[in-house]
Amino acid sequence: MVYLAREERNIILLYAFTDLLIYWVALSLATVSRWDAFHLLDFPELWRDRALCMAIFGAAALGVGCYHADRMLDRFDAVYYALIALAVSALTQFAIVALAPVDQRMISRRELVIGSVLAAVMLPLWRLAAVGLM
């Protein structure tokens, strides 16, 4: 019984880590859209903003219940709750970017839009593949 609980916890951690990794890749690919101003980027501040976005996404995923065992086993629920978490985090991030002074933020709204769209494609593909493997 303890072994099953530990195994379930490890699977949940794998899902959460992979979701965050996919979201990080999406935001990183979105940064390429600023190629013309790449030399002007302050990378430590960009990584700070990206880490904040990932924390918001992780909190949204936990908040909407992405990592409940029954929701991770159903294909529709796995994709649905991941997309709901992505929408909640994107709206929160847009609000923060809109309220933050321009000189104190390094991530742009365009990056958030492109990153969210890329994540909206990659997360469901990962979730469908993961449910198919279980």
Write out the two tokens for 29.
């690919």
pLDDT band for position 72 (50/70/90)?
confident
CA distance 98 to 23: 21
CA distance 110 to 113: 5
Q: What is the pLDDT of residues 27-53, one digit of tens each?
A: 989 888 877 666 666 778 878 888 999
Q: Residues of the chain with pLDDT > 90: what percent?
A: 39
Q: What is the pLDDT of residues 76-129, one digit of tens each?
A: 888 899 999 999 999 999 998 888 887 777 787 888 999 999 999 999 999 888
pLDDT band for position 73 (50/70/90)?
confident
Q: Which domain holds residue 57?
A: 2-133
Total domains in the fold of the chain = 1
